[in-house]
Structure 1
Amino acid sequence: AVRQLHVALDNVAELARAEEQLMAARSSRRRRAAAAQGDESTLTTTKSCTACRRGKNRCLPSADPQICQRCSEVGERCEHPISRNRGPKKRLSKTQKALKAIQQNIEAVLSGNPTPEVRLDGVDDSESDGCARQPHRMSDLHSGTSLLRNPLALLAHQAQVRLDQGTSATESSAVPPVPRAEENLALDPVDCGILSYDDLCRLHTLYFTHLYPFLWILLPELHTVEYLRLRSPFLTTSLAFVASTFDPGSALLTPALGRHALALAVHVFEKDLKTLEIVQAYFLLSHWASPNPGEVETRAFHFLGQAWRIAVELRLNTSSHPSFPHPHGLQEAQSRAELLARNRKLTWLLLFCGELAICVQTGRLEAIRIPPIPAFSYSPVQLPPELPDYDYAANMHANIILARSIQHTTTLQTSSDVPEAQRAKSFMAFWKPAMAEWRAQWPNVNSFIDIHAENNTIMLNFMTLRFRGASSVEILAECRAAAIRTVDKVATWNDCVADLRYASNFSVVNIAYGATLLLQLTLNLDHHVDAAVLGKIRNVAYILQRVGQSRPNAISVATLHAERILALIETIAAKADRADAASSAHISSIASSEPGHALRHLQLHPPVWP
């Protein structure tokens, strides 16, 4: 067998030399043909000099053709390097690559190294002396150990198992996702001396008392202070930082906690750590992220993107997942295991709501996926098992209606069964009864969920305008009515549990969007804004200012939106004061052109979450 392998190796080498000569002959013929046609390639120089290429710029013309404008200003040498050679390079053909792979496999077998490309199925051991001398090496070629040594072979094996119709899902040998926990528990904020244990307990209580009703992330009966410190310094720091921004007594703690939370976020990303607690920490930071002047409203998107990436890699959508040992080897009881399962499912569903909000507010409606749970499983008498809370269940039901309606728009746009003129009516017949049923089924929702449902109604009305045959005047009137209801509900907000002073960025955006939209639609429909409407919108801005003042230790998104709304009101009020009362045409021109101009001038784009 060894002698036959040596003969095969010589044959492969001879074929490789012949293929190389063939490729050289083809290249020579191409060069001669190009020379006969006068297409010989000459050395050319780049369009930009070395200094401009280093600065990612093009050379600017100047009076001196030998030097560009930038080099003449900074006093650098203006040199144009020779560009790279164009045309095909000296690459291996497919035949040469195959011969090279065969040669490497034969040499690996002769040297005794295992290779997954070698197949010994059907070979008689009596015909191979090499197999008799090294049975342990040859038998390892098809074992799990050999697959783990070659990641590509492992992926190919997994793909083959999935394609095998006779293999059940339970017999699949696919590698499950393995969490990578935060092993360095010395990064805990208490151990680092950032705050005391009593301070952490106070901030922990503040979060679950005031912030929790706006997000529902974490479970009070599971995520105690001791549990957080044992599982994730990142989640512990994130929770303490977010809560400290609302606590006047933590003014000295907030800057250090913020720096530590951002440092741990970078540390988690660099070390590629992946746990459920890390997902929750990123998600928590995204909902109360402060506007960053250097990164205009992008930090929250970054946090939410990291949470989604890790959640998908850990397959949080699956009901079963591999358990990993507790950092201190504690055995979880049955009740604790149930809490962990609820915690996992709750986090995945809240991530779905976050993705839904981003896709709607950024206009990426086609990116909406099917909701993870059917709508019929939510009712006041049958609350979700992951969080048996009335307001949470109503919120999930409203989000499911919105997501299914968005998917229905995509179906209508690509469907040939529904006439184009009837698609608007078909879409309204799909979502309006569903929202009316939702209102009747959940009459006792708090103000936060009620305003969120009004925002969904506005979005669904605007999506109706994507189809022909929809009456824009009627739909815009319905949107204005929903915006008025939003403004009125903000003015009468009185909830001791979901206190408006602790509202998340998502809640603030829903409020600001309703107020801004009411002002814009009133201008377009009535061609003026009366004092009553301006008073309502100004009152919402003042409420948002008070919400921002309730967060003394950080910049609030509520303050940012309040300033934008007040600036827009002042601009429109100034235009109305200067307008002549008898010049109705002038007022109409302001209504048709000035609002858009004011928005562009003040950069008042529609609010975007987070």
Structure 2
Amino acid sequence: MAPKSEPDTRDEERLAACFNCKKSKLKCVRPSGSSTCTRCTQRAIQCSAPLFHVGRHKGVKNKHSGLEKAVFQIEQALRRSHAGAIDQVQSAEQASELRYLLERSRELLNETHALPRRISTVNGLEHDQSSVSPQQSSISIGTSPSQSCSRDDSAVHSNKIEEDQLSLDDAENPLQLLARTSELLSSITPQVQGTGTTRPPSKFTPNRNTAGEGDDLQKFFGRFQARLDVAEDLDPIELGLITLPEAETLFAYFYENLAHTRWGIDPVIHTVEFVRSRSAFLLTSIAAASALFSPSMESLYKRLSNHRQKLASLVMAKRFKSVEIVLAFMVNIPWISAGEHWADDETSTYLSMALTIALDLSLNKIVLHSSTEPRSPRGDIIATSDCISARKALGIDGFLGVDPDSPRGLRLLRRRERTWLSLFVLERGVCLARGRNYVLPMSPLIENCDQWHVSELADRWDGSIVSVAVLRRDLANLISKVRSICDSYVNGNSELAVVDRVKSEITIFFDRWYQTWPVQIGDREQLSLPPYVEILASHTRLSLYSSVINHGTAPVGARHFFRAAGLSSALNVLRVAVQGEGQLRSMPNNTAIMISFAACFALRVSTVADGRGSSLAPSIRALIAETTDALERIGSTPIQRKGLSCLFAGQLRQILKYASRASETVPSLPEPNGDAPKTAPMYTDLPPAHIANHQGTIQMPVPASSLPVDYLLFSTMSNENQLDEAIHNTEIGLNAFWEDFQFQSADLDWMDWSTFGS
């Protein structure tokens, strides 16, 4: 007969579930004598488990709160630091700080609960196991809060997400762990004076007898909150730069005429009153942007732009941080004034400041409400470190008294996510236009934003934000896939197979996008996109071809396709710019840069066509001339605009003069020799008819008397299909010369304008 203590013995001998099974909340089955469970064996992954089973008393929620939670997490951090996990505590000084806070916490707990202390030694470190509650007595120092839950909890959903996030909050940030623990300690009246506890010396703190040391520490380690740039000497209304009615009028103008090109601001939340209480920088920036495009407001714009520049410098110097400051930097970037050189403007500075503040405010994290779980739409579990509770997010912004589930709370939280999505779109656009590597990190919010715009609280332009975010998010993967297909040619794949696969991947990618977004955000009857979204999509297609056009392993046929398709995309960008001029009056600098890039791309092709006497060259140059005129009109209207597009238009006009002179002196090139095929395949980009007719102002064409009979007026064509057909039917004979046609890759050395003037 088995002894009566057998159940207890079995309970003590129970093996703890491995960390992988605990994370998935599955039963961990480990064969007798095996150190690896069945599930980990099947998945061929490392199986590790606590040294002993961690359970809890039935009927008790095994959770920590308040100071007990802080004590537990400090013990975890110290244990990991002793075990050599430098990602938890990165220096001896930080470990010393944690030990001091731990001792102080224990003393406060002991005095509060009047319970005896029980010291155990684990890995050479002393750990307190004071039994402040029945559930704590069953928790070992070597376990995390998520490990302390029994298998029975797998079917129970937590009441609060904030409580569920006890899996060592802030473990990835030792400094933040110190700050939060210090805040908990400071909330309790010190009762440990004269207890004899000595604090080890540390470079982080001065002598304990120093006056005001506690206040300084509390200020340094205090809760992180937004720092607002609001004061009477900063407010443009208080300073008399504008009146309150003028501010209301300028805000209304912004939402009506500029919001379609500068996304991220919710007119329901960002009223004059709200913005004025949050950021003088944003208030001034929106007012200045509206005054920039409003006729007869030249003097007002000068006053506001000067004050805006002062506030930008002050924000950077004083380290003001808020969601509205991020939006202010974003509002200024599209129409920022040009410097003495094309690389001298403050775009990169403003963008880096916006990104830094956004990360400090955790705008990249998914907001979790009390009734939601950290899961993506695909069902994947999102790491806790990529999420933030709704209440904590509002607390960071300074809205401690706002209910996260109220309409106002939901809008305030959604404005955080909208700001991050808009910043992603802006940063990718700046990098594509200026040939720079991406800096803004890919986050779960970006990866799972496809349906973000489907909400009762959605703004008018939320769909446009998401459509371009998805397009630019997936572009990098498409470029990598196209390059990989070209690399397969070296491994023995046929040229025709490589070209077909490349065309298929690109066609599927853009077909899927164009079949989705015109229906959701555009004109459903004509299946057309908003003009600004359409021109961004055209830029993205051109960016794709410019990124792979000179790929070293691409076969000849693939290079023909890239260059012909790139020409079609470049001409389409110019066509959209000319036809949509009336709706692109607020054209951002990035768009002007990409239109100029398309013009230079097409101009390079026209120089090749010159040798064959093709009508393509004068047709391309006529379209570039129309685009140049449109850029100049956009950049100089109204008089205070002085936009960057004017400078690009002037340079393009000079380049056209050089190209025209060169074409008059270049002799006709000979026909291809007998070794080269006379009718090599000509690959063109043939997307579906996804772009509808445009109702726009067609600008002055080149005089008909100076044009050949077969001249093509590209600016009057209704869609990209007509462009492809026209290019394909002109028999331009570019195939024999494409091998010698080189164009700089996506690093955009094309902006070295001297290469065009030689």
The TM-score, its normalising length taken from structure 2, stands at: 0.52
From 538, 550, 560, the equivalent of 2:637 is 550
From 545, 565, 569, the equivalent of 2:652 is 565
The structural deviation recorded for 1:223 is 0.8
The structural deviation recorded for 1:431 is 3.6
Q: How does 1:281-360 map to 2 (within 5 A)?
A: 281-293=328-340, 296-318=343-365, 319=367, 320=389, 321-324=392-395, 334-360=406-432
SS at match of 2:236: coil
Which amino acid is 1:478 matched to? A
Aligned to 1:15: none
What's the CA shift string for 1:165-194, capped at 9, x where partnerless?
669633545347422222425411111111
Question: How far, CA to CA, are the matches of 1:433 and 1:335 in structure 2?
Answer: 40
Does the CA-based 8 Å contact 2:599-2:624 persist in structure 1? yes
Q: How does 1:249-268 map to 2 (within 5 A)?
A: 249-268=296-315
Aligned to 1:518: 602
From 511, 534, 545, the equivalent of 2:621 is 534
Bigger helix share: 1
Q: How does 1:184-199 map to 2 (within 5 A)?
A: 184-199=231-246
Question: How far, CA to CA, are the matches of 1:272 and 1:604 in structure 2?
Answer: 42
Aligned to 1:430: 505
Residues 601/217 of structure 1: CA separation in 2 closer, same or farther (3 Å cut): closer
Does the CA-based 8 Å contact 2:489-2:554 persist in structure 1? no
The structural deviation recorded for 1:419 is 7.2
The TM-score, its normalising length taken from structure 1, stands at: 0.64
Which amino acid is 2:597 matched to? Y
Task: Figure out how many residues of one structure are paired with residues of the other and give that number.
Answer: 454
Percent identity, aligned pairs only, is 19
Pairing 1:439–2:514 present: yes
Question: How far, CA to CA, are the matches of 2:102 and 2:452 in structure 1?
Answer: 63
The structural deviation recorded for 1:468 is 1.5
SS at match of 1:323: helix
Question: How far, CA to CA, are the matches of 2:492 and 2:360 in structure 1?
Answer: 42
Aligned to 1:404: 477
The structural deviation recorded for 1:512 is 2.2
Pairing 1:218–2:265 present: yes
The structural deviation recorded for 1:214 is 0.7
From 283, 298, 316, the equivalent of 1:269 is 316
Aligned to 2:554: 469
Does the CA-based 8 Å contact 1:394-1:445 persist in structure 2? no
The structural deviation recorded for 1:309 is 0.8
What's the CA shift string for 1:373-431, capped at 9, x where partnerless?
57886479957965454434432332233243245468879999987888776555434
What's the CA shift string for 1:198-243, capped at 9, x where partnerless?
2222221221111110122211111111111111101101111122
Question: How far, CA to CA, are the matches of 1:266 and 1:204 in structure 2?
Answer: 23
What's the CA shift string for 1:579-609, capped at 9, x where partnerless?
1767879xx9x9989999x979843799xxx
Which amino acid is 1:240 matched to? A
Q: Which runs of 5+ in 2 are unaligned?
A: 1-91, 108-116, 118-125, 129-141, 150-163, 171-175, 177-222, 368-388, 519-526, 672-733
Pairing 1:169–2:191 present: no
Question: How far, CA to CA, are the matches of 1:118 and 1:375 in structure 2?
Answer: 41
Question: How far, CA to CA, are the matches of 1:430 and 1:314 in structure 2?
Answer: 38
Aligned to 1:31: none
The structural deviation recorded for 1:488 is 1.9
SS at match of 1:187: coil
From 623, 647, 661, the equivalent of 1:574 is 661
Question: How far, CA to CA, are the matches of 2:456 and 2:481 in structure 1?
Answer: 25
Does the CA-based 8 Å contact 1:424-1:468 persist in structure 2? no
Q: How does 1:365-404 map to 2 (within 5 A)?
A: 370=442, 372-373=444-445, 378=450, 382=454, 386-387=458-459, 389=461, 390-404=463-477
Question: How far, CA to CA, are the matches of 1:425 and 1:520 in structure 2?
Answer: 26
Aligned to 2:754: 603
Residues 283/402 of structure 1: CA separation in 2 closer, same or farther (3 Å cut): same
Does the CA-based 8 Å contact 1:275-1:310 persist in structure 2? yes
Question: How far, CA to CA, are the matches of 2:361 and 2:300 in structure 1?
Answer: 33
Does the CA-based 8 Å contact 2:606-2:621 persist in structure 1? no
Which amino acid is 2:258 matched to? L
Aligned to 2:543: 459
